[in-house]
A and B are shown apart, each in its own frame.
Chain A
Amino acid sequence: MARLVPPPPPEHAGARRPNVWGFMAPPPAFERVETGPYLLRPRVFMNALGAICFAFAFLLPFITINAYVISIATSAVIYIMLASGLNIVVGYAGLLDLGYVAFFAVGAYTWGIMSTRLHWGMIESIPVVLAICVVAGIVIGGPTLRLRSDYLAIVTLGFGEIIRITANNIQVTGGPQGIYGIPKFSFLGLDLSVPITIGGIVFQPAVSYYMFCVFCMAVAVLLAARLAKGRMGRAWKAVRDDEDAAEAMGINTYATKLTAYITGAVWGGMAGVLMGSHLGSVAPGSFVFLQSALVLMAVVLGGMGSTPGIVIGALVISLGPELLRGFGNGRYFLFGVLLIVCMLFRPQGVWPSTWRLPFLRSARVERVDILDDSAGNLLDRTDLTPQAGDDTSAEPQGGGR
């Protein structure tokens, strides 16, 4: 006998509905409000702090234009950029890379060759440098990231040395002498290799180049911090904290590690470009293992995965030996002792990623009841009848990438 009434759909049909944003999830049962003064909300405060630090660094030449100071400061700024790149690899993704300076070398040499031998300008060179860094990242990271982390450390160490020794032994990189006469940037009609006059103030090449480096560094640090907070950054940290759990969440751990490695390579390469122009030359001697170790130390000392931490770490590592100049030949020894003491008392780093400034701790997200059945009646809450304003046709958040 034919059914007159269609069978009722199974109870579960449509039991799950997308939330207002198009995600399959029940709507929150509580409203969240951020408490505390606006300026003391961690995100607001840290952004402001970052902006102040940037302004200070950028305007440093108005305090002093001593050539020595500016030169040291430029190196320090490039170190911060390098540390921020290594932080992506080591701090966020948890991959111990002992040969990070390889990418620094790749960037510096590529820019050096392109500018001195091929006489390319900066605008054309940057995409090429980027592409070569990405390729280098894939070539080195592709096979090695399948290894367990202790093997990874050894293999990256090997690659770091291979790049340096190769540069030492082939023609195009100038052999042991390296490449000389790398120009400072010129772009959009602005030539940083000659003094520039703006509003009656003369900017010497070293000064304008320093300011340019500060700008690039700020962009690099900001982008790294933003990436860390986004979808890929969460995947990096998940892989760092627990690879299996990350896989169980649909994160392809190998691809995730590779993106971290490539991103780190790009950061390192860009820092290399800046360094090449800063020194005006590149030579294999600048890319020894000690360099990788120092940058790694900057990250570990500052606090792995922490943006303020790695800035502090890079400043300490690059400025420390200079500040200790008064101690003569013993300064590196003293510096080493200070670092050891530092790590003994704060193994998490100066500013660990999970640390929050004490006066920012009062600000928090608090829950406020919005439903009257919030007393814990779970079953009622799971009955996801769409509420007014629910946009069930919201654009589906595509899967896949």
Chain B
Amino acid sequence: MIRINCPYCGERDHSEFSYGGDATINYPSLDALEKEWTEAIFFRKNIKGFQFETWHHSNGCRMWLVVERSTVTHEIKSVKPCHPDLQKVVENNK
């Protein structure tokens, strides 16, 4: 069982969360071309090692989080809110 340290709720079982996906994707603007969207949503890296990914604390505080997790060992290096403003708040409160 992966344990995720939610910045709002503390360390919880991964079963409280829903997996999102690659957290490093810059989604194109809505009026971007099909090609850019295709690139963003279909062509994903299959990383061996640490990757940034989004998790939703769906059975908790409902916050979307960026989790830095190893796809090999499940080791988690960091957990932050996705929203940049909230990231700052959490950082300042440390």
- Tell whether A pairs with B: no
